A and B are shown apart, each in its own frame.
Chain A
Amino acid sequence: MLELKNISVRLDSFVLEDVSLELGTNDYLALLGVSGAGKTVLLEVLAGLLKPEKGEILLNGKNITGRKIQDRRIGLVYQDLSLFPHLRVDANIAYPLRNQKMSKEERNEKVRELAREAGVEHLLDRYPGTLSGGEGQRVALARTLASDPDVLLLDEPLSNLDVKLKTGLRALLRRIHAQGKTVIHVTHDYMEAATLANKVAVIEHGRLVQTGTPEEVFRHPETEFVARFSGVKNLFRCRVEQGNEAAGMRHAIVGGELSIGFLGDNTESEGHVMIPQEDIIISESPLETSAVNGFQGHIRKVYLSGSGMEVVVEAGVEFVVSVSRQSVEKMDLQPGKQVWITFKASAVRYIV
């Protein structure tokens, strides 16, 4: 368990102020914020590379605020990876193992095991300068895991990678998390946060402005900054069932029983679906259209949003729908009213 209590740091003109967090052993926290918000500074404080002016860091109940970097059991993977350029990949991965008492054979075996897990076994005799971005990221992860940290800090691990590499690396991060490590993943991409983390913290100008589950933060933003920053409302964790394969149709089971049709050729059994709120049509009765997704529900909230309005409809899960003020008045949309929501399968975005 990792606890941050009122951490404050001053760096020239930048101030990280009064940051408090509490994470369980199996928590995966996405630390979201724009560039310069203080995400990396917070990671460096946790890793011991920066000393906080005040506040405490507790790991499994022990105060590690003043503990040496090398004794913290907090592993940090830098955004630029910081692989040692003069050492081969195998020596990079073995670097932390040389601090532990083990024979050369045991060390080599451990290096192979970590490399296999990270998918870099074929790169062991290469130098970092010859690796691609994705390969380097995997090697950096394997090296940090070799130090067997209790907490893994990842500084923008998916930045500068193409979509295919991101998908593979996301799967690796999930596997690592499943091993029972607390993960803090710094990103400015809310999609990354939504698809990986079970907790999200949003940082703005050196202060944590909101923390919670992805659903809480993205669907109930407490500040305009969070709302603008996240921009996602209809994001649901789902289980995928195969549908009409010939037509490329799949079904995402959301909230236990709601079945949302979407188009895709994925083979994963679990993921997320996202439906842009502008693509959902709200009506008083079922619509006869080509759209495959139609659900009945009742309105929970209606509120102003920018120049239009947003309507929250409970239909097994909460959907947020963007409508104009004229539509709200014309249809008399108000809390408690029974309505139908409709959207096309092609409007649904599936994210692994």
Chain B
Amino acid sequence: MNNVTHLSGYNNFVLPFMIGMIFVLSCCAIGAVRVILELPASDKKKFFLSLINPKIMAQNVRDWFCDCLFHVKLWKRNKLLGYMHSSIAFGWFMIILLGHIEVFLYTPDRIHKLWYPIFFRYFVAVNDNTMQGSFFFFLMDFFLLIILSGILLALVKRVRSRAFGMRRTTRLSFTDRIGLYSLWLIFPLRLLAEGFTADISGGSFLTMSLNHVLHSFLGSEMNMLPTWWAYSLTLGTFMCILPFSRYMHIPAEILLIPMRNAGILITHSRKGVSRLYVHTCPGCGVCIDACPMGAVKANNKDATVYLNRQLKRGNQRRINEISEKCLLCGKCSAVCQVGVEGDKLRIAQRTQIKYNLSPDYSKIDVNSLINTNNIFVNTANKNVSYTENKKVLYFAGCMTSLTPSIRKSMVSILNKSGVDWRFMDEEGGICCGRPMWMAGRLEQAKQMAEKNTEIIKTSGADMLLLSCPICYRIFKERYSLEGVEVLHHTEYIDRLVSEGRLNLSRSDTRYVYHDPCELGRGCNIYEQPRHVVSAVGELVEAAKNGKESVCCGGSLGSLTLGFDKRKPLTENALANLTAGSPDAIVTACPLCQSTFGRYSDRPVKDIAQIVDENS
């Protein structure tokens, strides 16, 4: 047995693997080309330019390793979940890599045979040359063991998902099941196959010991070929089912990472990057637990993972149902392990709904809304004591005008701090456009944005101050207001306090701060409101806060959720907030305030109110 026994380096059992491999590679290539072709021309240019940008490329490489192989985000969520995924992904990657290195070192003449590294141990026999590779044999066995431990965890997770920090997991579809079972089978079969041939090919602690055990009661070498056949067949099955199952996320994520780093946004409901998002969804189901609608069990089927599944199937009725129901709180996007933007995907679906009647704002006369109240003419406000004062235009917004206490408090704060300010919508104004944008009617939203931009430009203001996070988000994201700083009142109050223009007195009241979806996840403002709340009282944190705060249930994002359907969601969010038994709930959104106020057992206040009371 000193020579290589299988001289040809080929056996029929490699066929299932080769068929699967060729199939999956061609599917991925076609898919990638299709996605890139579907991008708008400007995005295509952006994408290709990003590939030659060294900074973005470095980011891509880092993300490929951290996200695809090490699953860093999953580790942060739950150690067991992280270990399970990264052991399989990284272990498999290392086995493939080491397999190629082995072939390259010991049988370089066979490197062109695509199957050879995968079935190396069948074709090669132990000799002095290959035994120098006992280090590699050890590594191969080591990574195989790591993968097998990951598979074992996966089996446990099927029975006890709670141990992995997941209350609910996805219901698998038929193809997902086939993919899952064949994935589970690949590695034990590999171990078995290598165990049978370990005395010929050589092996290490795992395969060699298994070989001894097997030979003690299954001496025949006849078992060798069937196990290698079985191994190749499961590999082939897995790869043939991959494009139709959730495992498509493995190749799709590799393309999504450079697309995301290039800054390509969703522009079409199905095509281009939307298609890529749908296929990148691994169906892990983290979004099911995250979804605030999950407070009612019937809503579980409306999580982003199921939207992606329906998008793959093209079930239009369900796609519309899921997209229109969503609160667009963005929590699924915040927790998503691969960065699928469930909220934006849904807005893109909503743009496809046909309406016969469309509002037309061209008749609205902007001049009627511009008056001495909101225009800065020769700003000589005698109450203003600061020389380098900004001209602040305060846009309360629709929602704030329904919660006059916030507006009153803001007016009082602005006057106390000696700010030179004007009201933009004291007598009513034009909606910011965000609710219309969320309904998927982007053209109408843009029309409103134009009207508002005209008012702001005419006013001559340097700063636009907003009380409503819904407005704030669209003013930040979609308006082009050069020279005008856009601030939410939480940021502005924090600034006033730190500049010493507003003095706060601290009380012993325990406040819990609720992060409004549009302010927190939407605009990334978490710190400033907490500074302010800590300055006026004791800050208690909710059970889930910050990026994972629970939507109040009142969101304008949902088009179809009725009043009574929202109640359990609000109660669930309240239970989350009151976990630390605070004296009062503080939020920074008029809509959250009025929604919570409806069912809360303790006072619900806006941050402006508590600041005004304590200054």
The answer to whether A and B come from one shared complex is: no
Give the interface of A toward B (CB within 8 A): none
Q: Which residues of B contact A (CB under 8 A)?
A: none
